Structure 1
Amino acid sequence: MFFLKAHIQPNQVPTRRSHKKRLLKILTSRLFIVGVLILVQLFLLLFLLVKVGTMRYWISIVFNVVSILMVLYILTREDNPSFKISWIIVIMAVPLIGGVFYLIFGRKMHGRRMARQIESYTDALLHKDHGSLPQCSGNCQTLERLRENHYTLARQADYIYNVSGFELYQNTEAEYFPSGEQFFARLLEELRGAQKFILLEYFIVQHGKMWDSILKILENKRAHGVEVRILYDDVGCVATLPALYADYLRQKGFQVGVFNPFRPRLNAATNYRDHRKICVIDGNVGFTGGINLADEYINQKEKYGHWKDTAVLLRGEAVQSLTEMFLELWQFTCHESLSLSDFLPTRSHSCAGFVQPYGDSPLDNFNLAENVYMQILNHAKNYVYITTPYLILDNEMINALCLAAQSGIDVRIITPHVPDKWYVHMVTRSHYSQLLRAGIRIFEYTPGFIHAKMFVSDDSTAIVGTTNVDFRSFYLHFECGVAFYLSPMVSKVKEDFLRTQNICEEITLEKERAVKAPIRILRSLLRAFAPLM
């Protein structure tokens, strides 16, 4: 059996036997076993370093000198200042040990190797059958049309294209889903209509009503000759899928990739995760947003109160960008060389406004997703509304938020009231006082957990995607989003924000001042190490 389902009656009292089964399941899970093996390696490394450091007095002096040199080295690097400060604290607190940990986890050596491999596959993908692919002139013409309507938005679109290569489109319809339930219903409908291929790329997949319903359709489509590729992140699914689940899916006739497998070894590359949520059907229909393939996202299972999430559907030419993102990581993961011309859209749809899907990689020197958010803040004239499950800010984002609010822009942020990770939520709340003093309004979603990642500004631009406002999304995850310019989608995102705000609790400076001193101290302590979480 690849998975077990436990059926517990609502009023059934858990027995000692059921507790033992649950404990046994935890102790034999891959997450627990791999975690223990990594902790053993950490313990042995610490033991060795401490043992060596206490052998001779002069060795201790050497350790301190090496730590100082390591700090000087970190200061010269082009990393984010918050990231550097966190590592400097660790190194100075535990000389040499902190330095060794920085060499293992802090640098991007493994990331550079991964980046070269992905780039080689991507170059081959985009240049293969080059004559059959759309040329840049189409993107330039679309940018020019946007520039004629709104110069500032054209600068944003130009930046995304110049940094990432993802083009701006017009001939694309879009649909907005303000809840996981609405997204799920439309996803099933579109999957049933697949004729050629289905591409699925998700951070989390878990058996339940949502995935089982999707899997049933995929099996039916595969039986009728539809090609199905499934790519999921191993760390995202380590607690939700069995270790051999990819083989189980392959036996059903699907092509399956497991991104960056979670192995029991100290390796900084483990930090790089595929946090994207993408579904492409026949090249003509694409979905993305915050919603993974698990029951809490459609409120079939309650984990942290009511789960609020959002997604978008694209139909037409812009789906090509979502396809490119999928194929980029698929080729790297599965070592399969593909031709983009086999996956291109075959339909276009006239629509109002402009659409620009884009992907962000942690392996380059461009913080694309964060910079897109900051450009919206810097160019706003009236308002910027934001939803995010996590608010773990670097200095640049804090400055952009506060500068916008202090310049008279109506900046509002919705975060969860019921957290999924208590320590991350404490870091989120640690920023409240500074933001409130700058004039930003903060709301917590009292029904439960808000997982939506959205920006909307000035009735002219909106972004719906997978990128949280935190260090992991900005620096360690593969992410994606869709920017809408002068599109009807902008008003839909704004309306959903305002509806959601009406059922939130507004956080005030008075409420923040009433927080007890021990909680404030703990928040500050956790915030100091936020870039390393």
Structure 2
Amino acid sequence: MKYIKRFTALFFEYLYRFIQFLLSPIVIYIALICIQAIYLVYFASILTDFNGVVRFLFVSLSAFMIFYLISKDENTNYKMTWIFFIMLLPNAGGLLYLLLGNKRPSRWLKRKIQPEVQYFNETRYQDPVIRNQIINKKIISLDYLNRQSFPIYNHTECKYYSLSDYNYQDMIKDLLHAKHFIFMEYFIVSKGLMFDTIIGILKQKVKEGVDVRFIFDDFGSFTTVPLHFAKKLEESGIKTVMFNRFIPVFSLSQNHRDHRKICVIDGYIGYSGGFNLADEYINCKMRFGHWKDTGIRLEGEAVWSLTSMFLSTFYAYHKEYHGEDIEQFKPHTYHPEPFKNTGYVLPYGDDPLDDEGVGESVYLNMITHASRSIDIMTPYFIIDDVMLKALCLASKNGVKIRLYVPHVPDKKIIFRVTRSYYYDLIRAGIEVYEYLPGFLHAKVMLVDGKAATVGTINFDYRSLYLHFECNVLLYEAECLSAIKRDFREMNEICAPVKIDDSRHFKGLVEGLLRLFSPLL
């Protein structure tokens, strides 16, 4: 009888949780989007069966979209995926591509943000004296990034964090000492110890007269913040932006998310990295084992690049602030003394507002110009043939390449696609390691021990083509020693993947997932 009662109690508890899950906003919204997609395909099918002229028009549209894709200057994997999908559904495929296929953002999002991005691009200036000090400009894409209005600085002190647990501790101290303004921009915001502590500080700073501005992505935080969260922040005096509000509409614009992680304090202290404002990032909450993430702290002139990226988004949503004097946010305004020179620092961003894949271009450039070694940490590894060939070719040319990925996945399908690359990589001489303690969320690349990039850009299609992102590139900087040490320590706690084991991760299912990976 006791076991029956226990079983009944457990059954109703899990039933209650399941019903709660089904009634959660994210499940309802995704269901609405799926219903729209199914209805669209069904509607097109009914129309084409009912009327031959309509069928001819729909099939002609699909054929036109295929020819359009063939001639379009587009990522080959992305094109082939859509061509296959359109051929699979000739009645509705062309229409679906019109709604979802083009990676460019919707016109309203572009009109809203691009003018601000262009405005702040003009505020970033490359000192030619500093530029001329760089001997190997190609390995850090210096000329390319200068053309994208991202300068390199040398009066900036850097601190690298091998765990966001340590990053969080220092960020709290800096927030408590803020005197003039605090700017924060994050993809995920989740109620808990980490964010509640930070919000408490921000509210207190508002009372002290500090200008506090906060940006968060609506989709990234959709299930983790309470209703009317943005409104409550505004009521407490925090100037808030809810980026690209998530609406359950079958539209590509929902794909463009703000994946940046930026914190700027008084204009001369800046933070970035892979961590969001949620407890799992500092291991106060265990979701997928131990959470490995990295971060970086800047103090000096390079912080202006982070500040200007933040303001370009903030002004897009708060036009009333566009006329304010931006000189008040420059690094030397509240720190007139010279900053330390500990190497070269180049913060840069990427966005889907143009056809320039800055994140992918920098990664490819670092890979092709490596002469000795490449070390990579990434949570997701879903790349195209160009990136795969570049890595394999570098390895065959004698460059020692090590790739570190999670052992415990947060997204099982993505993890399965990631593992599908192991065999090709290992066969080319690339060493692959899985982070045994849990989930690896860091985004770090170290090349030849003298150049590294740390930030938010994953090795996947969403980061490289759809999201708003930011990274910090380091060249001959003192903190590179900490990054090297982090990779050495990773070797001790990660398991190497053997080529015989990697064969099991590549099959028919993985091939199909790879085929549709640009749509994941």
Shift in Å at residue 15 of structure 1? 4.6
1:437 paired to 2:427: yes
Normalising by structure 2, we get a TM-score of: 0.93
Looking at structure 2, the residues matched to 532 and 467 of structure 1 have their Cα atoms a distance apart, in angstroms, of 17
Aligned-partner residue type, residue 66 of structure 1: L
CA shift digits 1:27-49 (9 cap, x unpaired): 44321232232223223222211
Q: 1:303 aligns with which of 258, 262, 287?
A: 287
Q: 2:78 aligns with which of 66, 83, 90?
A: 83
Residue of structure 2 in register with 1:242 after alignment: 226
1:225 paired to 2:225: no
Q: 1:158 aligns with which of 124, 129, 143?
A: 143
* Between 504-513 and 115-124, the greater mean CA deviation after superposition: 115-124
Shift in Å at residue 21 of structure 1? 4.6
1:527 paired to 2:475: no
Looking at structure 2, the residues matched to 14 and 223 of structure 1 have their Cα atoms a distance apart, in angstroms, of 48
Gaps of 5+ in 1: 1-12, 128-132
Residue of structure 1 in register with 2:476 after alignment: 486
Change (3 A) 1:333 1:501: farther
1:38 paired to 2:33: yes
Aligned-partner residue type, residue 162 of structure 1: R
Tell whether the 8 Å contact from 1:291 to 1:309 is kept in structure 2 after alignment: yes
1:117-516 correspondence runs (5 A): 117-125=112-120, 136=125, 139-147=127-135, 150-153=136-139, 156-163=141-148, 165-336=149-320, 337=322, 338-346=324-332, 347=335, 348-515=338-505
Please state whether the residue corresponding to 1:54 is helix, strand or coil. helix
Please state whether the residue corresponding to 1:274 is helix, strand or coil. coil
Looking at structure 2, the residues matched to 407 and 263 of structure 1 have their Cα atoms a distance apart, in angstroms, of 48
Looking at structure 2, the residues matched to 244 and 236 of structure 1 have their Cα atoms a distance apart, in angstroms, of 15
Looking at structure 1, the residues matched to 394 and 257 of structure 2 have their Cα atoms a distance apart, in angstroms, of 31
Aligned-partner residue type, residue 157 of structure 1: L
Looking at structure 2, the residues matched to 109 and 386 of structure 1 have their Cα atoms a distance apart, in angstroms, of 28
Looking at structure 2, the residues matched to 343 and 18 of structure 1 have their Cα atoms a distance apart, in angstroms, of 52
Looking at structure 1, the residues matched to 368 and 410 of structure 2 have their Cα atoms a distance apart, in angstroms, of 31
Aligned-partner residue type, residue 235 of structure 1: F
Looking at structure 2, the residues matched to 188 and 477 of structure 1 have their Cα atoms a distance apart, in angstroms, of 27
Looking at structure 2, the residues matched to 126 and 178 of structure 1 have their Cα atoms a distance apart, in angstroms, of 31
Looking at structure 1, the residues matched to 104 and 155 of structure 2 have their Cα atoms a distance apart, in angstroms, of 41
Please state whether the residue corresponding to 1:359 is helix, strand or coil. strand
Looking at structure 1, the residues matched to 362 and 343 of structure 2 have their Cα atoms a distance apart, in angstroms, of 18
CA shift digits 1:457-514 (9 cap, x unpaired): 1121011110001111000011101001011122211210120122111112111234
Please state whether the residue corresponding to 1:522 is helix, strand or coil. helix
Residue of structure 1 in register with 2:63 after alignment: 68
Aligned-partner residue type, residue 400 of structure 2: D
Looking at structure 2, the residues matched to 278 and 416 of structure 1 have their Cα atoms a distance apart, in angstroms, of 24
Looking at structure 2, the residues matched to 70 and 125 of structure 1 have their Cα atoms a distance apart, in angstroms, of 36
Count of residue correspondences: 509
Looking at structure 1, the residues matched to 44 and 319 of structure 2 have their Cα atoms a distance apart, in angstroms, of 38
Tell whether the 8 Å contact from 1:30 to 1:243 is kept in structure 2 after alignment: no
Shift in Å at residue 62 of structure 1? 4.8
Please state whether the residue corresponding to 2:50 is helix, strand or coil. coil
Looking at structure 1, the residues matched to 511 and 60 of structure 2 have their Cα atoms a distance apart, in angstroms, of 29
* Between 290-299 and 335-344, the greater mean CA deviation after superposition: 335-344
Looking at structure 2, the residues matched to 317 and 513 of structure 1 have their Cα atoms a distance apart, in angstroms, of 49
